[in-house]
Structure 1
């Protein structure tokens, strides 16, 4: 954690263990994925943190859907929310901005984030970096929830085919029953008319990337694979990358379009190295959902990428 931030993340180990052990006895939490209940916010500072636009989407969408209440304590209705952020400002108690995280306190699954600050000005001074930290915690929590649900709603038959044909273990959503196979490549999809979600998995020789990958190198690699495997109505129509949209962090994010057509949408890509087989394993989730919000669709598909396992990867 960066020294200039001075945010102390209090992980209450004993409390978390106790909450997890009794989570099976708790009522089910309310609300949909990426919904957050915000209490005690002042000057809408935390609200702004939570509603920052999601990166690499074709239209602006907030990071979370936030409902607010002026109450500083939870009642029997609000305490069942799946994600809760509670702000407390008190100069007599807090000397710096701090975070405290609790899980499965009143319901399950549930995450409660407490933000403590001595003053509004102190909170505002940490707004940018604190906002990223809060969003990351909430996003990771929702990803874990999605993976937990995926564990029992999978296309096991397709997973066995992937293991046999590509030597890859990954969890595939139960509704992804459509597939198209190519050379060291597979495209899986739920094949719906609206809100189509897809997963692409392919392997390439490890030597194809000699140094840190750049936008131009990634675009060349990806577009070459997609041009061969994901085409439109004619061979001159194929999926391609919007290079200027690319964002490199833990995963690679960006936008795709269909050359010669009006189709397009967001994608997220993960690249792992299989050192035993001297290959790269590329897993990618992309969405085609015209005139529909895409945030939840791409995040739901992205969770699949976290389940990738090989015998030797780094």
Structure 2
């Protein structure tokens, strides 16, 4: 009898321990790419503080031909800090309190998640905290959304062995893409979407072709226009892809896979045609292989917003690994 009771007690303990462990498992975050939840009372949201948040976090995305917000903002009053909005990957909580504070909490309500807590004794103090910390907040959100997009991409991948063999490099490409052109040292991948298509180009050029003088951006534009003339054309004669001359591209120096790289964002057009769209070009200085490895993404989507399409292309490219 004692053995039976002991066995029953043991089973009960194991059962309730497992149930409790299951209850303690953190929820997974949900939501589309580039959406943030701002928890702030309506009185603050409809005033100068709300204007500051909108101007900074919903400012136009660099490099798109039409204005689209950097992030889509969903605002909720503080009293609704419960339920589904706490499942967001990014939450910004703004309150008036008896002390000035800026705090970052990871996985506070779900995972993966970043919650930014901003509080101040007055509206002016809150504005100062927002102004000071906005660059850091935006950088963290961008990195988070790139990681999330890469997680989604990893669920179904294209076979990229040809890229690894030809370019001594690998990166993760969604299975929705297919090979349009596969030549020696040039590959064009494309994905058809309802409103148009997105494309990835992979090619390489000698280091001297870009770094021959100090005018890096002019050399990059000349390089990509020559590649467009060779491979990217419309259905009509003399319709080659070129860089839009009416808008100066955005240029910055960054690091990809530990290597010096150049990021160029701008607009492409088909010469003598009506087609156009945004592009993002990464030129990686790979001294080990004595080359510039170029990865470019561009899209054509005249009836659809292009922010998230370009974000996917950026996420793909930033998964690059140069092989030894």
TM-score bracket, normalised by the shorter chain, equals 0.7 to 0.9
**Partner residue in 2 for 1:242:** 244
1:72 and 1:86 in contact (8 A); partners too: no
In the alignment, structure 1 segments of 5+ residues that lack a partner are 1-21
Unaligned runs of 5+ residues in structure 2 are 1-21, 255-262
TM-score, structure 1 as length reference: 0.82
The aligned residue for residue 59 of structure 1 is: 66
- The answer to whether the Cα contact below 8 Å between 1:87 and 1:116 also exists between their aligned partners in 2 is yes
User: What is residue 35 of structure 1 aligned with on the other side?
Assistant: 35
Q: Using structure 2 for the length normalisation, give the TM-score.
A: 0.80
Equivalent positions of 1:1-150 (< 5 A) are: 25-40=25-40, 42=44, 43=47, 44=50, 45-71=52-78, 74-90=81-97, 92-94=98-100, 99-125=102-128, 130-150=133-153
User: Deviations along 1:65-124, whole A, 9 cap, x unmatched?
Assistant: 11112216621232122321111333x322xxx542223222233221222344322343
Does residue 267 in structure 1 map to residue 279 in structure 2?
yes
Equivalent residue of 1:77, what SS? helix
Q: Which residue of 2 aligns with 1:232?
A: 234
Question: C-alpha offsets along residues 241-278 of structure 1, whole Å, 9 cap, x if unaligned?
Answer: 12433111242111111111111111111111221220
Query: 1:145-188 deviations in whole A, cap 9, x for unaligned?
Result: 11122223211x2x101111222211111110232124421110
Shift of the alpha carbon at 1:303? 0.2
Name whichever structure is richer in helix by fraction: 2
- Larger Rg computed on CA atoms: 2
Residues 1:70 and 1:181: Cα distance change in structure 2 (over 3 Å): same
SS of the counterpart of 1:266?
strand
- Greater shift after overlay, 118-127 or 165-174? 118-127
Q: Please say if 1:254 is aligned against 2:266.
A: yes
1:84–1:111 Cα contact (<8 Å) kept? yes
The number of residues matched between the two structures is: 284
- Tell me the distance in 2 between the aligned counterparts of 1:311 and 1:145: 24
Return the alpha-carbon distance in structure 2 between the equivalents of residues 179 and 119 of structure 1: 58
Distance in structure 1 (CA, Å) of the matches to 2:84 and 2:236: 55
